[in-house]
Amino acid sequence: MKIVVDAMGGDHAPAVVVEGAVLAAREFGVEIVLVGREEAIRRELARHNTAGLSLPIVPASEVIEMDDHVNAVRAKKDNSLSVGMRLIKEGQADAFMSAGNSGAVMAAALFGLGRIRGIDRPALASIFPASKTPAIFIDLGANTDPTPQNLVQFAMMGSVYAERILGLNQPRVAIVSNGEEPEKGNERVKAAYPLLQASGLNFIGNIEGKDIPQGLTDVIVTDGFTGNVIIKLTEGLVSFLARTLKESLTGSLRNKVGLGLMLPGLILMLPGMLFLLPTIQSLRKRVDYRELGAAPLLGVNGVVLIAHGRSDAQAIRGAIRSTIRAAEGRIVETIKSNIGAARPQASHGSPSAQA
Amino acid sequence: MKIVVDAMGGDHAPAVVVEGAVLAAREFGVEIVLVGREEAIRRELARHNTAGLSLPIVPASEVIEMDDHVNAVRAKKDNSLSVGMRLIKEGQADAFMSAGNSGAVMAAALFGLGRIRGIDRPALASIFPASKTPAIFIDLGANTDPTPQNLVQFAMMGSVYAERILGLNQPRVAIVSNGEEPEKGNERVKAAYPLLQASGLNFIGNIEGKDIPQGLTDVIVTDGFTGNVIIKLTEGLVSFLARTLKESLTGSLRNKVGLGLMLPGLILMLPGMLFLLPTIQSLRKRVDYRELGAAPLLGVNGVVLIAHGRSDAQAIRGAIRSTIRAAEGRIVETIKSNIGAARPQASHGSPSAQA
């Protein structure tokens, strides 16, 4: 297994990227190709013990900055993203991971690898962090205005990812809507509904916002605008609730317990607090991007994953682990072989499609 | 102050509606007109002490059920919604509240009261339940596919509601998007952005999902599809997190503490738990529909509020309180006088509009 990592991508590149790559190479025993400015990468590598690890460098002289326009991918010809994609395209490596500018990664993947035939728009998927049972969430934000047909392709790709990564058979697929009933939805969702019924996927219908954390489905399909809002709101709410909980714990001590009762109360509280704080932390961790690994860009003709720009070395290590899993899962080949099945043939209401 | 309440609306009507109306009449000292089946209402009233309260009945022989199509508003001519709206239209009462079928309430309001001139689509607003400082959230779900111009009108109406109900001067208005930068958004949001800049409102730009709980804005504008997903996801996540927290508290006891250590640990945990449980409850309560009162339908030519269908008597009481506040706040008159100001005059980039 050979993974290409964009050494120049992310807010703290190349230092944390190289550090995370060293951790991953040691822990997962894979070869990691670091693409980017050779001198800078070499300097970072020198700070770590890399004895016995396979961490070759492929030079790329230019860097796409986090705030660059996607056009920079074409303008800066020797950028680390495009050089990395070429290694995948030429079959020199199995998968690519970057914590860089996600718009630029998508553009570089489209230019460098192209789309899988039959997929009109690639989409970003991830594991939804706050659900009873893990579910694949697609699209995280690659397409703000997809067509109903695009949504059906997202559903198929998400279904493949759930099969290969979560090990599920015939994963249940639901589409985010403003009500459970089939007639609920905006125009896009209402048009996608019969197409999903006819898709051959295990489509179980609409899912409301309140049911997203309930584990009622294995694949959650939505447009990239709503998807981005859902994922970021989840992150924001968990932080907000954890903070509110901490504040009200200390607040209720101050308010409810009189000064005389304060000390014994505090002492008695301590063990409870010691149990509680790691619990709050683990909840935050659950939706923390560092724990989530990287999001696969499904629909491009190669295994490409995008990690959070704020990633630290541990997050890079986790993102590389996700990338190894995606490559091992043969996502691209499975999507290719599923395209025929998921292309909606007839329209509404054929009995077999509704079964 | 005279409030019309749809006695037949909601999952537990008329019993809980009449009970909530009795509570509200006693506590807030207003006259509450109960509209619906006279006999049924009379029977419920007889179960309460109504001495000294003003709770007249206006008969309506037909009932719109929770699962009726909105067409039922026209088909069942003598339904409680339409009869109630007529009382508002004729100036016989100040405001109307129903916990019934929200699509039917909107239809009855549109037929019975009409729109405010200059407002193309009414929208449902509420106070966002999980934010550092209270913010008005609009649209909760009345319009799944609004135009950019509709969104500007929602922004104006939300701004008026924030001024009148939260007592804010020049409330900050933001639109939900998939990134902070002005160029982020789906087609609808990108088209609305310059219109909002030119609207004369205190428009502060896009707000991301993760910032919605942060109290960065006073009015949160979005389409009714995304709005419904946001509100329901918030409700679902808070329940999920509260449950997870409870489970992991008991779980960590079981897992981390050996059997011998279990008993003293449990005893020491107890005070902590006693402090913790009300805190979790208060978080759940915060996003509980019973605490949120009712959502005003802004843009119709009269004060109309919709409460949750699952409302119990306490929730009906809270919904009537919201209705009284909305009527006192002279929402309709203020929206009328703000229409000129909020209608986008020129397009992008006039310096005064951007100031």
Higher-scoring residue by pLDDT: B240, A349:
B240
Contact B237 A272 (CB under 8 A): no
* CATH, domain range B124-291+337-355: 3.40.718.10
pLDDT at B265 over 50: no
Contact B209 A230 (CB under 8 A): yes
Mean pLDDT of B324-338: 93
Contact B209 A280 (CB under 8 A): no
Contact A186 B223 (CB under 8 A): yes
Partners of residue B131 in chain A, C-beta under 8 Å: 240
Higher-scoring residue by pLDDT: B260, A242:
A242
Mean pLDDT of B207-211: 95
Q: Chain A contact for B236, CB < 8 A? A: yes
Give one DSSP letter per residue of A74-107, joined into a string: HHSTTBHHHHHHHHHHTTS-SEEEE-S-HHHHHH
pLDDT at B262 over 50: no
Task: Select from A36, A29, A31 the least CA-distant residue to A15.
Answer: A36
- pTM of the entire predicted model: 0.85
pLDDT at B113 over 70: yes
Please list, residue by residue across A326-337, b when 16 or more beta carbons sit within 10 angstroms of its beta carbon and e when fewer do.
bbebebbeebbe
Cis peptide before B14 (omega within 30 of 0): yes
Partners of residue A217 in chain B, C-beta under 8 Å: none
Q: Chain B contact for A170, CB < 8 A? A: no
Give one DSSP letter per residue of A199-260, joined into a string: SSSEEEEEE-GGGGGGT--SEEE--HHHHHHHHHHHHHHHHHHHHHHHHHHHHHHHHHS-HH
Task: Give domain limits for chain B.
Answer: 124-291+337-355
Task: Select from B271, B124, B104 the least CA-distant residue to A272.
Answer: B271
CB neighbours of residue A23 within 10 Å: 18
Give me chain A's average pLDDT, please: 87
Bridge partners, residue B288, by sequence: none
Higher-scoring residue by pLDDT: A75, A267:
A75
Nearest CB neighbour to B213, from listed A240, A245, A248: A240
Rounded distance, CA A56 to CA A32, Å?
7
The pLDDT, as a whole number, for residue B51 is 95
Q: Chain B contact for A248, CB < 8 A? A: yes
Contact B233 A233 (CB under 8 A): yes
Contact A213 B248 (CB under 8 A): no
Mean pLDDT of B114-125: 95
Rounded distance, CA B234 to CA A14, Å?
37
Is the Cα dihedral B253, B256, B262, B266 positive or negative? negative
The pLDDT, as a whole number, for residue A334 is 93
Question: Mind telling me how many Å the CA of B320 is from chain A's nearest CA?
Answer: 25
Same fold, A1-114 and A120-295+329-355: yes
B140 within 8 A of B126, measured Cβ to Cβ: yes
Rounded distance, CA B8 to CA A139, Å?
42
Nearest CB neighbour to B210, from listed A210, A236, A275: A236
pLDDT at B322 over 80: yes
The pLDDT, as a whole number, for residue B267 is 52
Q: Which fold has domain A120-295+329-355?
A: Isopropylmalate Dehydrogenase (3.40.718)
Contact A145 B252 (CB under 8 A): no
Instruction: Give the A window 176-205 contacts with B, CB below 8 Å.
Output: 176-179, 185-187, 189
Backbone phi, then psi, for B165, in 5-degree steps? -100, -40
Question: Mind telling me how many Å the CA of A47 is from chain B's nearest CA?
Answer: 36
Q: Chain B contact for A130, CB < 8 A? A: yes
Query: May I ask the CATH architecture of the domain A1-114?
Result: 3-Layer(aba) Sandwich (3.40)
Question: Mind telling me how many Å the CA of A78 is from chain B's nearest CA?
Answer: 27
Rounded distance, CA A126 to CA A288, Å?
13
The pLDDT, as a whole number, for residue B344 is 47
Rounded distance, CA B79 to CA B57, Å?
14
Nearest CB neighbour to A271, from listed B185, B186, B272: B272
Q: Average the pLDDT over each of A16-25, B135-144, B249-258 and give the range with the smallest value.
A: B249-258
DSSP structure class, residue B114 = -
Partners of residue A211 in chain B, C-beta under 8 Å: 236
Instruction: Give the B window 15-34 contacts with A, CB below 8 Å.
Output: none
Q: How confident is the model over B21-71, as pLDDT tens digits?
A: 999 999 999 999 999 999 999 999 999 999 999 999 999 999 999 888 889
The pLDDT, as a whole number, for residue B288 is 56
The pLDDT, as a whole number, for residue A267 is 52
Nearest CB neighbour to B275, from listed A236, A269, A280: A269
Question: Is residue B35 within a helix (H) or strand (E), and if so which, with residue range?
Answer: strand B31-36
Nearest CB neighbour to A225, from listed B186, B213, B278: B186
CA closest to A248 among chain B residues: B279
pLDDT at B220 over 80: yes
B160 within 8 A of B330, measured Cβ to Cβ: no
Q: Chain B contact for A252, CB < 8 A? A: yes
Mean pLDDT of A261-272: 49
CA closest to A276 among chain B residues: B249
End-to-end CA distance of chain B: 41
pLDDT at A257 over 80: no
Rounded distance, CA B333 to CA B303, Å?
10
Q: Chain B contact for A264, CB < 8 A? A: no
pLDDT at A32 over 70: yes
Q: How confident is the model over B283-313, as pLDDT tens digits?
A: 666 555 555 678 999 999 999 999 988 899 9
Q: Chain A contact for B309, CB < 8 A? A: no
Q: Average the pLDDT over each of A122-131, A307-316, B190-199, B263-272 and give the range with the smallest value.
A: B263-272
Question: Mind telling me how many Å the CA of B10 is from chain A's nearest CA?
Answer: 17
Instruction: Give the A window 57-116 contacts with B, CB below 8 Å.
Output: none
Nearest CB neighbour to A236, from listed B209, B235, B268: B209
Residue A239 banded pLDDT, cuts 50, 70, 90: confident
The pLDDT, as a whole number, for residue B342 is 47
DSSP structure class, residue A299 = T
Give me chain B's average pLDDT, please: 87
Rounded distance, CA A309 to CA A286, Å?
18
pLDDT at A273 over 60: no
Mean pLDDT of A223-232: 96
Q: Average the pLDDT over each of A124-128, A195-199, B106-110 and give the range with the smallest value.
A: A124-128
Mean pLDDT of A65-92: 94
The pLDDT, as a whole number, for residue B98 is 97
Contact A187 B245 (CB under 8 A): no
Strand ranges, E, within B61-176? 95-98, 123-127, 136-138, 172-176
The pLDDT, as a whole number, for residue A237 is 87
Cα–Cα–Cα angle for A125, A223, A105, rounded to 5 degrees:
50
Question: Mind telling me how many Å the CA of A11 is from chain B's nearest CA?
Answer: 17
Backbone phi, then psi, for B21, in 5-degree steps? -65, -40
What percent of chain B is predicted at pLDDT more than 70? 82
Q: How many CB pairs under 8 A join A and B?
A: 183
The pLDDT, as a whole number, for residue A243 is 77
Residue A66 banded pLDDT, cuts 50, 70, 90: confident
Best mutation site among A133, A137, A190, A210 for testing chain B: the one with the most B CBs within 10 Å?
A210
Bridge partners, residue A219, by sequence: A136, A173
Question: Mind telling me how many Å the CA of B120 is from chain A's nearest CA?
Answer: 18
Please list, residue by residue across B106-131, b when 16 or more beta carbons sit within 10 angstroms of its beta carbon and e when fewer do.
bbbbbebbeebeebebbbbbbbbbbb
Helix, coil or strand: residue B142? coil
Q: How confident is the model over B247-256, as pLDDT tens digits?
A: 665 655 544 4
Best mutation site among B121, B131, B226 for testing chain A: the one with the most A CBs within 10 Å?
B226
Q: How confident is the model over A284-325, as pLDDT tens digits?
A: 665 555 556 789 999 999 999 999 888 999 999 999 999 999
Contact B178 A212 (CB under 8 A): no
Question: Mind telling me how many Å the CA of A186 is from chain B's nearest CA?
Answer: 5
Rounded distance, CA A99 to CA A169, Å?
31
